[in-house]
Amino acid sequence: MMVDLVEAFYHIKYNPFKYGGLFCSFYSGISNVEDSLLLAPLVIPLCTHPVYGKVLSNSVFGENRKSTMWSIFSDRQKLYDLQERFDAFKPLTDQSIQYCIVNEWLDFSDDYMSLIYCGRERDLLKDNRNALKLGKLFSGFQIAEIYSILGVFPR
C-alpha cells in the first residue's frame, strides 16, 4: 500500500507532460551544435539539480558578460551525482521528447540528428529559463567536449 502511494507521488512529480516545456526551452536556446539530440539526457538532470539549477538561473548571457562552461561547472565535486541522475532520468527524457514531437513543439531532423523547436507554444518557454540558459551555454560546443567537461558517459 505504501509503495503504491510513493510510486504515485513519483509519477505526479516526474511525468513527461510536465517536462515537455523544459525541452522546448532548451532546443529554442541551443545553436551551432550538431547531433544535439545526444544532449537531451543532460537537460533534466542539470536543470533540476539542486546546485546547478540555481547556478544556471544566475548565469548571464549578454554582450558585456557571458557565463561559460568553465565558470558554471568549475567545481567538479558538485557533479558527483550527475551520472546517476543522467541514468535515472533517461526514460523520462525519452517520454518527454516523444510528447513534444507528438504535439509538434519539437521536430526531428534526421540529416543532423537534432531536435528543432517549432516555435508554436511560447507559453512553454516562460517558466523554463534554466533550460534556455543551458541551451545557450552548450551552443557552439562539440558533444564530446560537453560530456567530457561534465564527466558523464552516455550508455
Domain boundaries, the chain: 11-150
Residue 36, classified by CB atoms within 10 Å of its CB into exposed (0-12), middle (13-18) or buried (19+), is buried
Q: Is the pTM of this model over 0.85?
A: yes
Task: Write out pLDDT tens, residues 59-102.
Answer: 887 777 677 888 888 877 878 888 999 999 999 999 999 999 99
Strand pairing partners for 113?
none
Strand (E) positions, 6-137? 106-109, 114-117
Q: Give the span between the Cα atoms of 79 and 94, in whole angstroms.
A: 22
Highest mean pLDDT among 1-5, 40-44, 101-105: 40-44
Residue 147, classed as helix, strand or coil, is helix
Task: Give how far Cα 44 sits from Cα of 5, 22, 26, 87, Å.
Answer: 24, 8, 10, 11
Dihedral (Cα; 92, 94, 97, 99), 10-degree rounding: -70
> Among residues 133, 126, 4, 135, which one has the least CA distance to residue 57?
133
